[in-house]
Amino acid sequence: MAGDQSFTLSEIARRLEVPQHRLIHLCEKGVVVPDVHGPAGRGSSRVFSSRNFLELAVALRLREMMLPVAAVGAVVHVLQAFERLLGEDLPQFALADSLREDRAPDLRVIISDGETIYFSLGAADKQPKLFGGIPLDQLEGDAPAWDGRIEVVRFRGNARNGAGGLGPENSEYGRLELSVTAIARTLPID
């Protein structure tokens, strides 16, 4: 199973077809912290889990969408917490493995109005559930104020001028949406 695998930085860079320095930058900024083995000095290698592999792939996509590194780190941090939350109800759930399965739900990260992180999770035949509502400013910086909880969000229609907002999270101005499931399915782990 992919969850038992480990990967070096150079191996991930080769499989994702990106220069190593882009991955090193994400690690040095604390966006992704190796689960298996961090750098232990000159000449040592970082070793990553399959979850870290997915985190790096998600982080690269978010950077391609022009999201600042601090915000990318916040999204990855909340994604880890979301994996733990799902693991409470589904003990065998692991992002990198579970999202690659044939009947995996569609997990999407949504950044609403550049300020708030949400997750949308659902099957193709059902209305997705919305989680989060976590302000980005509580996650960025040296002393995050976020308490680590991720709650189900109930849709509350936008009554302003009779017009609704964008998406289920009701963004007023704009939203950035990324399918973590699509990234997981195309991840060159095997």
Q: What is the pLDDT of residue 11?
A: 95
CA 108 to centroid of chain Cα atoms: 8
Q: How large is the angle between the packed helices 69-89 and 50-64, nearest 10 degrees?
A: 140
- 121: β partners: 107, 129
The listed range with the strongest mean pLDDT (35-49, 120-134, 140-154) is 120-134
pLDDT tens figures, 78-87: 899 888 888 8
pLDDT tens figures, 17-36: 999 999 999 999 999 999 87
Task: Report d(CA 66, CA 48) in Å as an integer.
Answer: 25
pLDDT tens figures, 110-141: 998 888 889 888 876 777 888 888 888 877 66
Q: Model pTM?
A: 0.85
Is the pLDDT score of 158 beyond 60?
A: no
Structural domains in the chain, sorted by start = 2-186 (1.10.1660.10)
Q: What are the structure tokens assigned to 109, written together?
A: 């990260």
- Let me know the angle formed at the C-alpha of 87 by 83 and 91, rounded to the nearest 5 degrees: 145
Task: Report d(CA 123, CA 174) in Å as an integer.
Answer: 24
